[in-house]
Amino acid sequence: MERTLPWSWYADPEVLRREQERIFRRAWQYAGHVGEVAEPGSYAPARAGDVPVVLTRDGEGVLRAFVNVCRHRGAQLVDEPGRRETLQCPYHAWTYGLDGTLRAAPRAEREPGFALEELGLIPVRVEQWGPLLFVNPDPEAAPLAETLRELPALVASAGVDVDALVFHHRATSTYAANWKVCCENYLECYHCAVAHPGFSAVIDVSPDAYELEETSEWFSTQRGPVRTNGRGAFDVREGEVERSQFHFLWPNVTINIAPGRANLSIGPVLPEGPERTTRFLDYFFAPDADPDWVREFLAWDDEVGAEDTALVERVQRGVRSGAVAGGVLLSESERLVAHFQRLTARALGSL
């Protein structure tokens, strides 16, 4: 039986500082969708851990990403998506092109040796999978494809063509829990029969039916068949997707496909503090999706999300107490949690 990470790691500010440095600043993370920067001259804010990012589409249609921080005094440049030819800092009006170059700095002409060309925005790696955009602050990072590996093929095998999906909406949530608690909750369905009656009425969560797979070094997969005698909250019998898929891209990206009509939701789990986490999910459906089906599916999905919120906050109250040093993991039912914890421990090294 495998031991968990020390529970002190779930409330310690110093551990989070090292996670930001050694994990989030070196990993590919979901940033948003191409619709946010579809037109030339468009831009949108995003994040990679605690690194603020701005996505841009310049006048030539080139997609780029930069650290969303002015090179002058560190003000965040962009708060909301928009469309214009330049980005202007609201603090002192330093102005940047959408290619990251510094175009103008008031009173710069009064400063001997001031070099505009040396003060452009710091670039961030950006790549896409269909309409999905990923960023990585590490300039030396391997291409996104080396992290995704067979994930696009797995999603396609479910009956979902990501290129044909249409963005529907973004849902945001906040948890009084460490980000790792939220990820670990996602990575097992051991709790589903106990805590998710609506989910378990649709998906067969029995250990002989519900599959867990460490698909590659950087992502893991869960697959759940539809119950033969299910009493689903939405129609799962008709549609392209016969079997659910839930993928986790380390360190913090969740990808969900429910049975029924073509659908996908994706989003990052983002630490806001040692004991506070935010998450957003972008929902996509087929362009001809039945509005009634979508509404019923989203109500089911929201119910599961609310149940998980209560669970992770309950865990945080326990681990933060310091009364118990750590726990144990079931080698079969929680092996994806163990995989996540091994990657985390390896990245953090000696604390």
What would be the CATH architecture of the domain defined by 29-136?
3-layer Sandwich (2.102)
Q: Which of 227, 231, 253 is nearest to 242 (CA)?
A: 227
Q: Which of 94, 80, 95, 74 is nearest to 37 (CA)?
A: 80
pLDDT at 32: 98
Q: Long-range pairs for 158-161 at CB < 8 Å and ≥24 separation?
A: 158/241, 158/242, 158/243, 158/245, 158/257, 159/239, 159/240, 159/241, 159/242, 159/262, 160/240, 160/241, 160/257, 160/262, 160/263, 160/264, 161/262
pLDDT at 234: 79
pLDDT at 229: 72
The phi and psi torsions of 264 (rounded to 5 degrees) equal -160, 140
Q: Where in the chain is the domain with CATH 2.102.10.10?
A: 29-136
Residue 297 Cα to chain centre, angstroms: 21
Q: Where in the chain is the domain with CATH 3.90.380.10?
A: 150-348
What CATH number was assigned to the domain covering residues 150-348?
Answer: 3.90.380.10
Residue 182 Cα to chain centre, angstroms: 12
Residues 6+ apart with CB under 8 A from 87: 43, 54, 56, 77, 78, 95, 96, 97, 98, 121
pLDDT at 339: 96
User: pTM for the full model?
Assistant: 0.96
What's the CA gap between 240 and 175, in Å, rounded? 33
Which residues of the chain register pLDDT less than 70?
230-232, 350-351
What's the CA gap between 249 and 217, in Å, rounded? 10
